[in-house]
Structure 1
Amino acid sequence: MSTQQGWRLFHGDGRRREPAMPPAPPWRRFEDRAEEDGDPGAREATAPPRPQPYLISPRHADVVNAALHLRRPLLVTGPPGTGKSSLAKAVAHELGLGEVLHWPINSRSTVQDALYRYDAIGRLRETTLRRENDEEEPSIGSFVRLGPLGTALVPGDRPRALLIDELDKGDVDLPNDLLTVFEDGEFDIPELARLPEEQAEVAVLTERPGEQATVRRGRLRCREFPVVVITSNGERDFPPAFLRRCVRLELPAPDEERLRQIVRAHLGSESLTEVDDLLETFLRRRAARELATDQLLNAVFLRVGGVDLSADGLLDAVLHQLDGAV
């Protein structure tokens, strides 16, 4: 980043300058992702980019290992910024499981959509067009695409990694709807199960670009149960039947020493010379209101780049509260 005098890219005066963009924070760089998106086969041909450093205590790591050995979903709870979502990438990286499949939950999320989608209208349109042109009808598999959960259950010698993010934001019945899939490791696609015997095997699309999976007689069953990490912000309790099928991990808000380790891991040891007053301010504010660890990283990144955070409420904008009114 530039010096304090030249750090402003935007001046608000309407004058066009076209400045060179400074380097982004390490956790906000997307060039590796863009390179993969340019080549659909690159996701399988090369290892995914190394995730940002992830720090976890031995006792919490043991809970993760228990879920791995038991082949059970890991339900991760804790305050914002404790690394709940990042844990899935860290596990996938260390175990060599490839890119993490991501199912972000909202109020409209359903297990059906996460398993697969069937484009019946698209199939009808394409079939009609080909018949008019006296061409071969398209395979039904071209109109079935597995969702993140369905793709995670595609059989393979190695399990796949799936992040189910913020499950507590979904419909109240969503956890119960997952029980059968979690217990059996399989699901049916009725549109394929009704096909004649000569179409017992159908290649369908998956969540990953360029990849196909074979569905036999309308049923897809995993060979190795996927590594499933489910995050929750504690906004709602889950039913006992769902909790019984999960291994629970509560991640606490990091203390001062752990925060220093996190800053060092992301921004280097030299950044610690700039962190004392920011860390003190962050801890004081976090004791009174909800703050996330990445807000501290943002503040340190700006400070290391030469930005004066005391200028007219800038620090307040970076360390803004996450709960209550804006």
Structure 2
Amino acid sequence: MTRFVSHGPDPRDGRIYVLSQELQLAIDVALATDRPLLLSGDPGSGKSSLAPFYAREKRLRYYEHVVTSRTQATDLLWTFDSVRRLGDAQVHRGRLNDGAYVDPGVLWWSLAPESARTRGGLLHDSHRHDPLNRFQHEHATRGSVVLIDEIDKADPDVPNSLLVPLGSQEFTITETGTTVRREPDVAAPLIIITTNGERQLPQAFLRRCVTYTLPGPTPEQLVEIARLHLEHDGVPFDNEMFELAVALADELVHVRENEQHGRERLPSTAEYLDALRACRELNVRPGYAQWPLVRSLTLAKSPQQER
């Protein structure tokens, strides 16, 4: 039996994505209006995978920031190492270069890469590389895609604090007084923001975004996703694999439509791919003795398992 050449369950490398016409239109509208694209949908539905895919397809620089409960709005713009500066001030005499203690965030790099390299002109090293561009060895264009992942995990003040820099595409570094503006030869970035709906976002923030909710997957979409992933892993999508992909797609749709009671969330594409990998590796099929347990472990998780 041919085995997977596994690239991990969530590689986030932008190599595989099934982009619908509706989602492409949502991207086009966001670019035309110069607004962030706010994506909502079930966990595991592919919200976070869109940004690296689009960046790779369009050969754009790619940045991402995963939001946590500790995230502050300035973390996406810059951070300042005040502790290191204080230590240096106690050791060295003379004036310190504050630019040496500034680290540009994803929005700074996307809007003004030359400014980010020189810390707003405070450093002379204009050849400093871009450490946050995940595709830096492949793409060196003047356009970019920024993923701000799971914005709903942050304090409500965070999205509100991003309104001005996202709208004006400029901001001022508090510690140095340096103003950062989008550089003239840099295209406006495509900013993709995701939310799982765990916390209601401020209305002022929603008003300034293009919003799109990813619909639940159809069986046809799931089978196509299975084909792409299997072929990427070096597994031929033969009749046996096609039948397995179809059977699992039907199972997932059945769970979503008929077993919603008591669930905090519905299974989505990520669970489908987990079931596909498990069945492929363990040689399990719907109807086998092991199938009910595999199904409950991947597709039909109990509420206790989902927490």
- TM-score, normalising length from structure 2? 0.75
Q: 2:217 touches 2:268 (CA, 8 Å); kept in 1?
A: no
User: 1:15-54 counterparts in 2 under 5 A?
Assistant: 23-28=4-9, 51-54=14-17
Query: Match for residue 244 of structure 2?
Result: 274
Query: Match for residue 189 of structure 1?
Result: 173
Query: Match for residue 263 of structure 1?
Result: 226
Q: 2:89 touches 2:96 (CA, 8 Å); kept in 1?
A: yes
Give the Cα–Cα distance (whole angstroms) in 2 for the partners of residues 178 and 243 of structure 1: 12
Query: Match for residue 60 of structure 1?
Result: 23
| Match 2:191 to one of 209, 215, 228 | 228
1:285 aligns with 2:255: yes
The structural deviation recorded for 1:322 is 7.7
Query: Match for residue 281 of structure 2?
Result: 305
- CA 29–185 in structure 1, closer or farther in 2 if over 3 Å, else same: closer
User: 1:1-326 counterparts in 2 under 5 A?
Assistant: 23-28=4-9, 51-98=14-61, 100-131=62-93, 139-155=97-113, 158-193=142-177, 218-223=178-183, 224-268=187-231, 269-270=237-238, 271-287=241-257, 288-289=259-260, 290-308=266-284, 310-311=289-290, 313-321=293-301, 326=307
SS of residue in 1 equivalent to 2:64 = strand
Give the Cα–Cα distance (whole angstroms) in 2 for the partners of residues 90 and 63 of structure 1: 15
The structural deviation recorded for 1:251 is 1.0
Cα deviation digits, residues 15-60 of structure 1 (max 9, x gap): xxxxxxx755345487xxxxxxxxxxxxxxxxxx962321122122
Moved over 6 A (4+): none
Cα deviation digits, residues 51-70 of structure 1 (max 9, x gap): 23211221221111111122
Cα deviation digits, residues 235-258 of structure 1 (max 9, x gap): 333333222221112210111111
- CA 55–116 in structure 1, closer or farther in 2 if over 3 Å, else same: same
Q: 1:26 touches 1:266 (CA, 8 Å); kept in 2?
A: no
1:295 aligned partner, one-letter code: E
2:37 aligned partner, one-letter code: L
Give the Cα–Cα distance (whole angstroms) in 1 for the partners of residues 63 and 13 of structure 2: 16
Q: 2:73 touches 2:159 (CA, 8 Å); kept in 1?
A: no
CA RMSD in angstroms comes to 2.7
Query: Match for residue 41 of structure 1?
Result: none
- TM-score, normalising length from structure 1? 0.71
Structure 1 residues not aligned, in runs of 5+: 3-21, 31-48, 194-217
Q: 1:186 touches 1:220 (CA, 8 Å); kept in 2?
A: yes
2:293 aligned partner, one-letter code: G
SS of residue in 2 equivalent to 1:305 = helix
Give the Cα–Cα distance (whole angstroms) in 2 for the partners of residues 177 and 171 of structure 1: 10
SS of residue in 2 equivalent to 1:229 = strand
Give the Cα–Cα distance (whole angstroms) in 1 for the partners of residues 203 and 302 of structure 2: 29
SS of residue in 2 equivalent to 1:190 = coil
Cα deviation digits, residues 103-139 of structure 1 (max 9, x gap): 11222211122221111221232243344xxxx8653
- CA 54–242 in structure 1, closer or farther in 2 if over 3 Å, else same: same
Give the Cα–Cα distance (whole angstroms) in 2 for the partners of residues 56 and 180 of structure 1: 30
Give the Cα–Cα distance (whole angstroms) in 2 for the partners of residues 229 and 29 of structure 1: 18
Q: 2:296 touches 2:302 (CA, 8 Å); kept in 1?
A: no
286-295 or 71-80: which moved more?
Answer: 286-295
Greater C-alpha radius of gyration = 1
Q: 1:27 touches 1:52 (CA, 8 Å); kept in 2?
A: no
Give the Cα–Cα distance (whole angstroms) in 2 for the partners of residues 115 and 140 of structure 1: 16
Q: Percent same amino acid at aligned positions?
A: 32
SS of residue in 1 equivalent to 2:176 = helix
Q: 1:76 touches 1:231 (CA, 8 Å); kept in 2?
A: yes
Figure out how many residues of one structure are paired with residues of the other and give that number.
260
Give the Cα–Cα distance (whole angstroms) in 1 for the partners of residues 19 and 211 of structure 2: 15
Give the Cα–Cα distance (whole angstroms) in 2 for the partners of residues 308 and 235 of structure 1: 35
- CA 166–323 in structure 1, closer or farther in 2 if over 3 Å, else same: farther
254-263 or 271-280: which moved more?
Answer: 271-280
- CA 121–275 in structure 1, closer or farther in 2 if over 3 Å, else same: closer
- CA 219–147 in structure 1, closer or farther in 2 if over 3 Å, else same: same
2:49 aligned partner, one-letter code: S
